[in-house]
Homo-oligomer: A and B are copies of this chain.
Amino acid sequence: MKKSIGAITIVFPTPVFVVGTYDKDSKPNAMVSAWAGICCSDPACVSISLREATYTYSNILESKAFTVNIPSEQYIKEADYFGIVSGRTEDKFSSVGLTPVKSELVNAPYVKEFPFILECSLLQTIKVGLHTIFIGQIKDVKVEKDVLTKEGSPDFEKIKPLIFNPANRTYYGIGECLGKAFSIGKK
């Protein structure tokens, strides 16, 4: 039996993406987006939804670039901090002690300490309502060597990404592997 809970913005799971940008004075900034994900395979693109009120919004319009940085569990406090304060009033990288590295491919910084990062150039913006979708073309993905499998593929269980539960605003880790996609359904 289903109960209606209204037109709310809750789905499961949502990611914890730290978005890296430069402001007009080249100060690096980082914010958190849970409303984001891959949106095209060719060209390879990722989208993030931002309110105009955020510092990152104007940074991307100016720099035409951003990075998506995926924190591992061990950086839960730093990632959460990035979502609490504004880059307008603070140098967040300095506050949490993480290192911004200037991308050689796009005009944006990535988080040195995070295991998995995407470097993106702005391809398109779409105003939906309060939020605007920023579509970034993925120019490269960089992964810490110690979270790669022997075959050189990103190892989910070593990366240990955070999962955001928007219903009560909590972070979760990943659980057990339950099966192979495009396979378990054949049974």
Contacts and interface: CB of A to CB of B under 8 A. Distances in A.
Contacts of A143: 2-3, 5
Contact of A4 (B80, B141, B170, B174): B141
Contacts of A124: 126, 128
A138 interface: yes
Q: How large is the interface on A (under 10, 10 to 19, 20 to 34, 35 or more residues)?
A: 35 or more
A54 to B, nearest CB: 13
Most buried by B among A12, A15, A17, A42: A12
A178 B42 CA distance: 35
Contact of A171 (B7, B162, B177): B177
B168 A153 contact: yes
A8 to B, nearest CB: 5
Given A153-B168, A167-B156, A5 B185 contact: no
A179 B185 contact: no
Chain A facing B: main interface SS = strand
Contact of A47 (B15, B41, B133, B181): B133
Nearest to A151: B168
A181 B186 contact: no
Interface in A30-52: 34-47, 49, 51
Interface in A58-91: 68, 70, 73, 76-84
A85 to B, nearest CB: 9
B171 A12 contact: no
Those 3 A-B pairs whose CB atoms lie nearest each other, nearest first: A80-B185, A81-B185, A173-B175
